[in-house]
């Protein structure tokens, strides 16, 4: 019998006995991957979430950060919620929430929506996903109401995507502050974009 090896560590194999006719493979099976600690684990498809760490999460709106918000999404236009997209949720996210607040009028909330699937990475214009729920906005209605500062003034608005590690357990029609409090407790990461709007 001829014995071949890739490495020579100084050890010598004994001759095979007459009844030893089987060989043993020392190669790793093609459907496994060796990890750093020397153990092996099955290959799996990429996860739909990212590890929670120092990653920078982003949200994209129809306006660039710090620029004017398109009147279409304000009381001067169609007053509808904008289309949005955001970073893949971090690991541990169980739902996503979105808020739009006027930082120059802290008591007025324009939009709070939660219950969005953690696997979702975008929202179409003027759309409420199945399973999502919205709070009562500052105008007294459930859902979105756009920027609408007093005439002659310019306000800054912050739109935030909140990644939540637990459910808020609220439903449609909750008070905005109640839902925002629930979001604050459950949030594990967030992404935001600001914009301005002024009325003549």
pLDDT of residue 48: 53
Question: 18 or 149: whose pLDDT is higher?
Answer: 149
Q: How many helices (H) and strands (E) does the chain have?
A: 1, 12
Q: Which domains does the chain have, with CATH numbers?
A: 59-198 (3.90.280.10)
Question: 45 or 78: whose pLDDT is higher?
Answer: 78
Place of tokens 């739009």: 100
Between strands 32-34 and 40-42, the pairing is: antiparallel
Largest CA distance in the chain: 100
In this model, does residue 23 exceed pLDDT 50? no
Gap between the Cα atoms of 51 and 101, Å rounded: 28
pLDDT of residue 105: 94
Encoding tokens for residue 151?
Answer: 């005439």
Kindly report which listed range (33-47, 97-111, 150-164, 186-200) carries the lowest average pLDDT score: 33-47
Q: Summarize pLDDT for 48-57 with one digit per residue, the tens.
A: 555 555 578 9
DSSP 83: P
- Where b means 16+ CB within 10 Å and e means fewer, 146-177 reads bbbbeeeeebbbebbbbbbbeebebeeebebe
Helices (H), 90-132: none
Phi, psi angles (nearest 5°) of residue 96:
-115, 145
pLDDT of residue 200: 80
Query: Model's pTM, two decimal places?
Result: 0.74
Mean pLDDT computed over 40-50:
38
Gap between the Cα atoms of 77 and 198, Å rounded: 13
Q: Summarize pLDDT for 68-103 with one digit per residue, the tens.
A: 999 999 999 999 999 999 999 999 999 999 999 999
CA dihedral 159, 161, 166, 167 (to 10 degrees): 60
Answer yes or no: are the C-beta atoms of 113 and 134 closer than 8 Å.
yes
């Amino acid at each position: 019998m001829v014995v071949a090896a890739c490495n020579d560590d100084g050890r010598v194999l004994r001759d095979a006995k007459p009844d030893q006719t089987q060989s043993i493979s020392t190669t790793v099976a093609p459907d496994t991957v060796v990890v750093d600690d020397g153990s092996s684990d099955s290959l799996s498809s990429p996860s739909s979430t990212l590890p929670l760490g120092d990653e920078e999460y982003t949200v994209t709106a129809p306006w660039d950060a710090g620029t004017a918000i398109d009147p279409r999404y304000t009381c001067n236009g169609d007053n509808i919620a904008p289309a949005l997209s955001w970073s893949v949720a971090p690991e541990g996210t169980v739902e996503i929430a979105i808020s739009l607040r006027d930082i120059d009028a802290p008591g007025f909330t324009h939009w709070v929506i939660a219950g969005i699937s953690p696997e979702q990475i975008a929202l179409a214009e003027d759309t409420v996903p199945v399973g999502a729920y919205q709070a009562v906005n500052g105008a007294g209605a459930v859902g979105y109401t756009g920027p609408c500062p007093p005439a002659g003034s310019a306000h800054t608005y912050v739109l935030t995507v909140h990644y939540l590690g637990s459910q808020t357990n609220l439903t449609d029609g909750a008070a905005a502050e109640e839902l925002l409090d629930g979001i604050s407790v459950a949030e594990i990461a967030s992404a935001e974009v600001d914009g301005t709007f002024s009325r003549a």
